[in-house]
Amino acid sequence: MRTVFYLNHDELDMNFLKILNNLFHSKKIKIDVDDEFDPEEETSRNDTEYLMSSEKNHKILSQRLKNIERGKNLKILKQKEFDEISRV
């Protein structure tokens, strides 16, 4: 199981440790602290992890990335077409 907590330094108290203990009772855990949290970067990372979480999505996305790298199966949009689809 993977769980991410976002908190301020003053929230690191005994209550937080009790929560961790209840969630991961009798399991070995890893605690990774990052003091340079960037919400936009984290959102992007979570979106990517979600999209790659199923084997089917992973295969489709991997193939599409390969197509982009090779310049295959690309659709070139005119500015008007791009403007229309980006309004969604």
**Cβ–Cβ < 8 Å for 68, 74:** yes
Helix (H) and strand (E) counts for the chain?
4, 0
DSSP 10: G
Q: Distance (Å, rounded) from C-alpha 56 to C-alpha 60?
A: 6
What pLDDT does residue 42 have?
Answer: 67
Question: Model pTM?
Answer: 0.39
Q: How confident is the model at residue 3 (pLDDT cuts 50, 70, 90)?
A: confident
What pLDDT does residue 88 have?
Answer: 61
pLDDT tens digits for range 4-37: 788 888 888 998 899 888 888 888 999 888 777 6
